[in-house]
Amino acid sequence: MVLMESGTREVKAGTSFALVRDVGRHALRLVVDQLYPPACAVCTAPIEAGHGLCAACFSKLAPITAPLCPILGVPFEIALGPDAVSAEALADAPPFARARAAVRYGEVAQGLVSRLKYGDRTELAAFCARLMQMAGHEFWGAAPLLVPVPLHSSRMRFRRYNQSLLLARALGRTLCLEVDPHLLRRHRKTRSQVGLSGDGRARNVQGAFSVHPDMLLRLKGRRVVLIDDVYTTGATVKAATRTLMRAGVEAVDVLTFARVVSGEEVPI
C-alpha cells in the first residue's frame, strides 16, 4: 500500500511538473510575441502566430506535385503516363533511386533557405519540414533512416549548425523516424557550390564524403533518405549517394526542401 501511495505521489508530482512547465512555456511565448510580434520570414509582414510565411508569400511558393519524373522528381507540364521519365534522367541516370522536393526554388523559397541557412532562423526548419513530409510521402512506408548531408567540420564551426540536420530532425520528430548525423561524413573541405557550373560542382565534391566505420551496424538494413535544403544540379547528393552505396547501402532516396527546375532563372 505504501508503494502504491508512493507511486501515486510520484505520478502526481510528475504531472504537476509537466503542467507548470507547459504553462511556463506558454507564458514565455506570450511575452516573446509581445516583444517580437510574429512576422513573415521573407517579407516581415505581421502574421497571426508561429514561424512561417504571410498569405501573400505563401501563395508564391510553387509546390512540386504530380505529374513528375518518378526518378528525379522534376515536374512535367502535362501528364505523360506512369512510365514517363524525364530527359535528364535518361541522359544521366542518377545513382539514387528517387529524388523529391517540396517546392520549386524561387524568390520565396530562396528567402526561406537563406534565413534558415545563414540567418540563424533555425525555427524555420519545422515549417520547411512539414512541406517536405508531404513531398516525400512515398518514402515513409519503408521506415527509412534519415541522413542529413553533412558539413565539413571547419564550416560547421563557422556556421554553428547544419541546416540539413535541422530539417532531418524536424522530419524525424514528426514521422517517428531515426536520424543519423554520423553515418555520412564530409572529410574533405570543399569550396562553396554557389556560382559553380554543373561540372564544377561535381568536381568540387568528388571524394569529399566517407562513411562511419560501423555504418552497416548503424544502418540495420534500412533504406537511406538523404536530406538537404536545395537540389541544384544534384552533384552533392549524387556524390554522397555513391559513397553510401559503395559502402554497402542498398537503396538511397533524396529529399530536399527546394529544387531548381531547369529553364527557370533563379540566382543560386
Least Cα distance to 125 among 105, 148, 104 occurs for 148
pTM of the predicted model, to two decimals? 0.82
Distances (CA, A) of 72 to 24, 164, 226, 255: 46, 19, 14, 10
Q: Does residue 12 register a pLDDT over 50?
A: no
pLDDT band at 11 (very low <50, low <70, confident <90, very high): very low
Looking at residue 28, its pLDDT comes to 46
Every domain of the chain and the residues it spans: 57-259
Neighbours of 137 (CB within 10 A): 9
CA atoms of 206 and 210, how far apart (whole Å) = 11
Find the range with the poorest average confidence among 35-49, 91-105, 135-149, 250-264: 35-49
Summarised one tens digit per residue, pLDDT across range 234-259 is: 999 999 999 999 999 999 999 999 99
Q: Classify domain 57-259 by CATH number.
A: 3.40.50
Looking at residue 4, its pLDDT comes to 43
